[in-house]
Structure 1
Amino acid sequence: MLHVNYKPSTSHWLFPPIIMGILAFLAVVMLIQRALKCKKQGKPFFNFKNYHFLVANWDKVRLPGTLLLLVLYFPSMDLLGFLPASIIFIFLFNVLFVGVAQLASIPVAFKTKKFWSNPDFRSLLISLIISVVSSTLIWFLFGKVFKITLP
């Protein structure tokens, strides 16, 4: 029978090996499916001729921005703690994917005093609310209800 050594101070280390195991299993399934499809169609498993990793006209802001935010998120958890870092970075991810140009609406909304009627400002405010509520719920659910320590 499976036995798990559990210490509350290291409980956040329990999930990464489980997730990695699931990902490794799914990768093997995908490789088997690829091999069967290539065999059925008579194509080579690795076909690098005319291969492009990125599609034409790929978004040159969102991919590097996502990678940068992801890399910065982990050290920020050490500096700020889980909850503040998560709120900030979920908001930044939302802004990145909705459109960075919306940030220009902040001074306009304050200058005109029309906050809710400005759709860009309203979208930013909704993104902030989503960031605060989702991060707080995750922190409460895992950290308080399930007593799993968060980084």
Structure 2
Amino acid sequence: MENNCLAHALFGSGASTLKLGRATRQKICVGIARGLAFLHEESTLRIVHRDIKATNVLLDWELNGKISDFGLAKLKEEENTHISTRVVGTIGYMAPEYVLWGYLTEKADVYSFGVVALEIVCGRSNASYWAQNGCVCLLDWTFNLQQKGKLMEILDPKLEYKFDIEKV
């Protein structure tokens, strides 16, 4: 893809010259959500991706988010409410019910999408999060800030506060 992957745009070391403002980040989130809706509900073959993360979201020339890397994907049959399977994916992006019991539904992809959406807002990678202030992951850190009434501190400093607080 013309603009590499989302991880490169968000976390790349100065190599990425992309400026991802609030509106662009929102557009990327909507693109990922549309891709998941297609896989889960609109496609003839229902698919659970199992590895939604920033490196598996490619950005086209208009910075639209496109889901990629279907190497771990599973087909979902209509008559089954879930898929029993060996647990595979990326630590930190997998839904708890999938990790603990191998219980796989579309909800596992939605959980992973939530982690990616949080990365997009924070500009921090969940995969390389270092334990700080008693928090062990990006979700824990966000929850901690929310409990302290400081949720706006999660916003990526690269946004330079050029956004409408209500929209955020």
TM-score, length of structure 1 as denominator length = 0.28
Larger relative strand fraction: 2
Higher relative contact order (CA 8 A, sep 6+): 1
Larger relative helix fraction: 1
Which structure has the larger Rg? 1
